[in-house]
A and B are shown apart, each in its own frame.
Chain A
Amino acid sequence: GAVVSQHPSWVICKSGTSVKIECRSLDFQATTMFWYRQFPKQSLMLMATSNEGSKATYEQGVEKDKFLINHASLTLSTLTVTSAHPEDSSFYICSVPGYNTDTQYFGPGTRLTVL
């Protein structure tokens, strides 16, 4: 399976600030990565598909201007939560598809708390 890292593992910020979360595929190149959000006691909800070399594809209801995604290289995708508010507090998890499969392997997640 794929080895995926995320940084930071947790972050606390003030309302109105922006937070950048990094997702790295450590053992192979990924042209696609996925970003999920998970609120307490709820399941994972796909936010967007990050595409290397092109714009991200956002799911319905996800504001692309608020959640900026940049797939900078074949091993790195970043999610920036702009002008964060308390309702953005959540567990953000990225995933990478396995090589030549549709299995997804998840990073350890980033817990964001907005005060």
Chain B
Amino acid sequence: QKEVEQNSGPLSVPEGAIASLNCTYSDRVSQSFFWYRQYSGKSPELIMSIYSNGDKEDGRFTAQLNKASQYVSLLIRDSQPSDSATYLCAVNIQYGNKLVFGAGTILRVKS
């Protein structure tokens, strides 16, 4: 079983819609969760971090965490074509302060 799983997509949404990206993880003791955005040919850039159960909002982005279900998601409201990218879910592994990344979900926002 992979430690961090994401649907590879592509997820296609129309401009202005809500994009919902999902991620599950296997390590129950993980405490830190991150969403990164990666444009083609570029390195990942941090969008959100979340540490507690519930929702965390930052502008058009909302991260949701449910530790009991080992599930973390990212909602993007009012999606724009510039949001088209690969979104990587990352989980901090308890030992060694390392991040484990999911394979990423490709998001395409169509104008």
Contacts and interface: CB of A to CB of B under 8 A. Distances in A.
A43 interface: yes
B34 A49 contact: no
Interface residues of A, number: 23
A103 B42 contact: no
B88 interface: yes
Interface string B72-111: 0000000000000000101010001111111110000000
Contact of B49 (A95, A97, A103): A103
Interface stretch (A14-22, A61-69, A77-85, A105-113): A105-113
Contacts of A57: 96
A62 to B, nearest CB: 13
B88 A102 contact: no
A95 B49 CA distance: 16
Nearest to A108: B43
A93 B49 contact: no
Interface residues of B, number: 22
Contacts of A46: 98-100
A11 interface: no
A109 B43 contact: yes
B92 A107 contact: no
Contact of A43 (B42, B45, B88, B96): B88
Interface of A: 1, 32, 34, 42-46, 49, 57, 91, 93, 95, 97, 102-109, 111
10 contacts: A42-B103, A43-B88, A46-B98, A49-B98, A93-B43, A103-B32, A104-B46, A108-B43, A109-B42, A109-B43
